[in-house]
Amino acid sequence: MYIIMLGAPGAGKGTQADIVCHEMELPHIASGDLFREALEKKTELGLLAKSYMEKGELVPNAVTIKMILERISDPDCVSGCLFDGFPRTLEQAEALDKAFAAQGKSVDKAIYIEVPDGELIKRLSGRWICRNCQTPYHLVNSPPKVPGKCDKCGGELYQRADDTEGTEKKRLKVFHNLTVPILDYYRKQSKTIEVNGNLGIQEVAKEVISALKQR
């Protein structure tokens, strides 16, 4: 099963993706994590992505599509995976469909987690992430048990450089202009599952998983 997780920055895509991947035993392909890993390793891809990520802009389609298509050619994705943060433009969605069609595969479902912009800004400004396992925390809504340390692996928590107020607003604008049109693309194919992301983490997860299992 190939699933796409759509939502604005801060909508909870990563958290829901983790839960769904665990429940359905799927590899979790997060484009933002792949760019951050490349940046940590200081590869050419990482350094290129950095300049866009810092400004809250999208990394060019050609670079992003190449990275994702390479990743999904790994054996763990042969019968399914969950995409988190990809596609983010119509061009990326079409490139994925084209690559899948050539292999007789297709996207099964696109989950859209909807959260109002005001709430997204609050979530992003309080967000801290584990440097080791990427688990997200929120200083008010879901703080770690020990300040600065991940509950799951004890890793150090950090605030993403692009979770700052100016960049957050830019990222939301990019989302509305470039990513929201993808929703219609998947709606026309009757593939969307639209969920209210303003509920608690477990409630959202329950809705997503039951919709996926009903398909």
Q: Which residues bind ligand AMP (CB under 6 A)?
A: 9, 31-32, 35, 52-53, 56-59, 64, 85-88, 92, 162, 171
Annotated active-site residue 127? The verdict is yes
**CB-wise, 14 or 144, nearer to ligand AMP?**
14
**CB-wise, 55 or 206, nearer to ligand AMP?**
55
Q: Are strands 81-84 and 28-30 parallel, antiparallel or unpaired?
A: parallel
**CB-wise, 175 or 204, nearer to ligand AMP?**
175
CA distance 53 to 143: 25
How many helices (H) and strands (E) in the chain? 9, 8
Closest residue to ligand AMP in the complex (CB): 32
CB 58 to ligand AMP: min, Å: 4
CB 132 to ligand AMP: min, Å: 16
Cα–Cα distances (Å) from 207 to 12, 23, 111, 130, 182, in that order, read 14, 13, 11, 26, 21
**CB-wise, 183 or 206, nearer to ligand AMP?**
183
CB 159 to ligand AMP: min, Å: 13
Q: Which two tokens stand for residue 32?
A: 């933002």
DSSP string for 7-51: E-TTSSHHHHHHHHHHHHT--EEEHHHHHHHHHHTT-HHHHHHHH
CB 202 to ligand AMP: min, Å: 22
Annotated active-site residue 88? The verdict is yes
Per the residue annotation, which of 160, 169, 170, 206 is the catalytic one?
160
Closest CA to 3 of 36, 34, 25: 25
Closest CA to 112 of 179, 171, 195: 195
Per the residue annotation, which of 36, 71, 123, 127 is the catalytic one?
127
Annotated active-site residue 171? The verdict is yes
CA distance 198 to 147: 25
Per the residue annotation, which of 13, 36, 71, 123 is the catalytic one?
13
What is the set of active-site residues?
Answer: 13, 88, 127, 160, 171
